[in-house]
Chain A
């Protein structure tokens, strides 16, 4: 499935680019992640543990930059991982775009194509998407702290111009819930993409008739009422 996110930080495009193209720095913003080795200039291996309440999943895998175009501000990476207990895996292809919105204000847009396989995708009942949102929120907040420095930490811009996370998501990097380790812990990560391995997924399913009816009726009634 496709996920689009954006993040605006009070920082220069160059600083943001330097951050985004350094997996080790990005890693520190992502709870539960650890880079284990650099395989070649573009490829890194690592692990990532996502813990949601009593459910925990550890992935190991690789992240590879397929394109790093500083001039255009475009980075493209592919990350893939496999659940260490053989229960599934995920792959994400993510393109990020760094654009200056105003002097000292930079917007990063992320477009990801995510494929998740295994029990979490089967039984996550929409939860994966929400976990992804929360994780993005944590990442975004942590990235803002990293890039904006003390201003963010003091809470001046805690939630705005925030990431497009879900309403009700925790608004601080120390928010519990998603991750076992908090973002502040100076370890771990696989890649920017890896966190999205558990990010959203949509299901193009044909539902049993009841649900088709349900949706059809409601849509129709809404339409009739509005007409």
Chain B
């Protein structure tokens, strides 16, 4: 994409240095735990050591005698306000604090409020709880068997642990296609439960002002506006009214989806602040974070792929059991209980497909949030990209060749997939060719053959994924009924500087920089002179927040649209100033000039000044605009990744030797930031493939509940990622851009697993 702006303006395509960095490198970021308010007290939480138990009694007397302890809040306390249960985003219900039963290990049981962190921790230690342990249900398959212990006895008439059934595609048509397929491969694929484990854990400072019945909550949330509405809905009956609720999401130390849900801790802290009339701070520690916060994945999939003998894929069928823990608290759009899993036909022109899923309750923490991934797309991509390799192995075809043979051809875009999506744009062969060139694919295959002959284990894995991000068009996408638009409000100051506020919330993606670049691109105001603000519900326009790679596709588009509205008004002012008609003006970056007389122009700065000092009679003063952008479609970024692994024959240790990632996210706002997003995404794609898993023993103990066992890769485990780009703009996005924050997390795992399987394929391994 040709640059339209100079480096001074830094519109799209410039690797502008980040505007947020000066505070972070000085230790001047302001995260939730840095917030200290006068009179603030601290909350710490008593958690269940059992995965499933009756609570017989909670003894708080000793805790209340600990110096500094002010109060102990239990489920009974909250029950008094009818706040002991809350709704989940998926219309299920979740305990805030239990009254009689705990449903997973580390569930909140009581909260201790004290004058210091230390006293609160001592108080937690002094709370004695009598439990009657019960045998937990840990396996979703067993949970769905007849006769399994019914977990949700709170739900009247509930007789099993089945949550919902979901399906997409034509079952009969797909069955028929499978009958006709010359080759069918079938594989069970489990994607383990994992946790985003952002380095900053979750927490909040809830500050209820009794006099004004006003609540301010500083909290680690990716979606402050939606949270405000949730609080108003959940606690409206106790006097919290939406106009008197202010959610402030300050600097966020990584989100990745884990800071979308409303966790019980937040609600208890708010309740505690209301009860005590003091600001209450709650910050979870790492073990609480890993053991109680929402998980991702946990899909047990059985996938089948049918093809002709020559390798034309004809049919795909996937049956999934989804383990949702004790409540469905997934963060998906309402209509999509399985997220966007039906993207599972991937980058391939498969004519017949059917997928179905059943969700089960188990004695595990609730969730089903993202792990840097748009609504279950990682699971879908893993399934199809693994199956392509399984098929290649079956057909003894090179996996690259099989992919080329089945890619949706570039000329078929926009492409209607058999499971109902309209892919906006793509050029899959170009991305794979580029990746193969970058890594030297043919030479690697030769090397592999030589190594096999010597008994060495080396593998090459490919993943050619298609993402689906930017939720979403209002006709289909809402969360709790709120449509998934996003918003931007821009004000141009008289001196030609700007403030732009968005309904999203950066957690490290660099919105303060990239949004400013969008405004710079559209208005020619230097990005350095555009102040970007997000995260304060009192000042920012309503938006659904940052997750699922939706900021650029939705809020970024809103930014462009708001800027264009401003340009419309600016044009009127320019016509007034230049004394010509609007039709005689042409826009070049940063100025309107008279057609045929380029020396006659007014810069955006001139116009901004005039908007406050010399605007046309009859026109309102000022230069500002708001846009609530409802995307016409999702965006479909894609890419091809190739991974080379070496496996130590003696120990089985896998080492990633090289990893090339070619991404296409349409037009790029800031190449430096996009590369950073890809690097991070690749690392979070590698992590669950090789290191991370939240696992449980048969008693429901979380055996990866700290960083001792939840193995987050460090600098020695992470390879030097190599990146490349192709550019296929989105036809419907105002800037031609697509979301990119999660592409690499979605695309990397199958490349790595395919490489590992490839290293062992000659020994008969087909899947791991």
- A–B proximity contact (CB within 8 A): yes
Interface of B is mostly: loop
Cβ–Cβ contact B697 & A121, under 8 A: yes
Bound Cα distance from A224 to B94, whole angstroms: 52
Q: What B residues does A210 contact at CB under 8 A?
A: 652-654, 689-691
Interface residues of A in 1-54 (CB under 8 A from B): 1
Max chain B Cβ within 10 angstroms of own Cβ: one of A89, A116, A208: A208
Cβ–Cβ contact A122 & B652, under 8 A: no
Bound Cα distance from A214 to B654, whole angstroms: 8
Interface of A is mostly: mixed
Q: What B residues does A84 contact at CB under 8 A?
A: 128
Q: What B residues does A85 contact at CB under 8 A?
A: 125
Does A180 belong to the interface (CB within 8 Å)?
Answer: no
Does A67 belong to the interface (CB within 8 Å)?
Answer: no
- Among B105, B647, B690, the residue within 8 A (CB) of A117 is B105
A contacts with B, residue count (CB < 8 A) = 40
A128-142 Cβ-contact flags toward B at 8 Å (1 or 0) = 000000000000000
Bound Cα distance from A202 to B703, whole angstroms: 11
Cβ–Cβ contact B128 & A86, under 8 A: yes
A106-130 Cβ-contact flags toward B at 8 Å (1 or 0) = 0000000001111101110100000
Max chain B Cβ within 10 angstroms of own Cβ: one of A117, A206, A220, A221: A117
Does A76 belong to the interface (CB within 8 Å)?
Answer: no
Cβ–Cβ contact A122 & B131, under 8 A: no
The closest CB in chain A to the CB of B708 belongs to A123
Interchain nearest-CB distance for B63 vs A (Å): 11
Does A82 belong to the interface (CB within 8 Å)?
Answer: yes
Bound Cα distance from A82 to B689, whole angstroms: 37
A72-103 Cβ-contact flags toward B at 8 Å (1 or 0) = 00000000101111111101000000000000
Does A215 belong to the interface (CB within 8 Å)?
Answer: yes
Does B760 belong to the interface (CB within 8 Å)?
Answer: yes
Does A226 belong to the interface (CB within 8 Å)?
Answer: no
Cβ–Cβ contact A82 & B131, under 8 A: yes
B430-472 Cβ-contact flags toward A at 8 Å (1 or 0) = 0000000000000000000000000001000000000000000
Q: What A residues does B760 contact at CB under 8 A?
A: 213, 216-217, 220
Known: A122-B705, A123-B705, A209-B690. A204 touches B651 (CB 8 A): no
Q: What A residues does B127 contact at CB under 8 A?
A: 86
- Among A80, A203, A208, A221, the residue within 8 A (CB) of B690 is A208
Interchain nearest-CB distance for B519 vs A (Å): 43
Bound Cα distance from A99 to B76, whole angstroms: 53
B645-668 Cβ-contact flags toward A at 8 Å (1 or 0) = 001011111100000000000000
Cβ–Cβ contact B50 & A215, under 8 A: no
Interchain nearest-CB distance for A62 vs B (Å): 12
Bound Cα distance from A88 to B711, whole angstroms: 24
Known: A118-B49, A205-B703, A224-B763. A213 touches B756 (CB 8 A): yes
Interchain nearest-CB distance for A184 vs B (Å): 33
Cβ–Cβ contact A201 & B649, under 8 A: no
Bound Cα distance from A215 to B650, whole angstroms: 10
Q: What A residues does B654 contact at CB under 8 A?
A: 209-210, 213-214
Cβ–Cβ contact A209 & B689, under 8 A: yes
Known: A86-B128, A117-B50. A122 touches B711 (CB 8 A): no
Cβ–Cβ contact A208 & B49, under 8 A: no
Interchain nearest-CB distance for A200 vs B (Å): 12
Cβ–Cβ contact A89 & B49, under 8 A: yes
Does A212 belong to the interface (CB within 8 Å)?
Answer: yes
Interchain nearest-CB distance for B276 vs A (Å): 24
Q: What B residues does A1 contact at CB under 8 A?
A: 698
What would 6 more interface pairs be, CB under 8 Å, given A209-B756, A213-B756, A221-B649?
A91-B133, A206-B695, A207-B693, A209-B752, A217-B652, A220-B763
List 15 A–B pairs whose Cβ atoms lie within 8 Å, in order of A's numbering: A84-B128, A86-B49, A86-B125, A86-B129, A88-B50, A115-B698, A117-B700, A117-B701, A125-B709, A205-B693, A206-B693, A208-B688, A208-B689, A210-B653, A214-B651
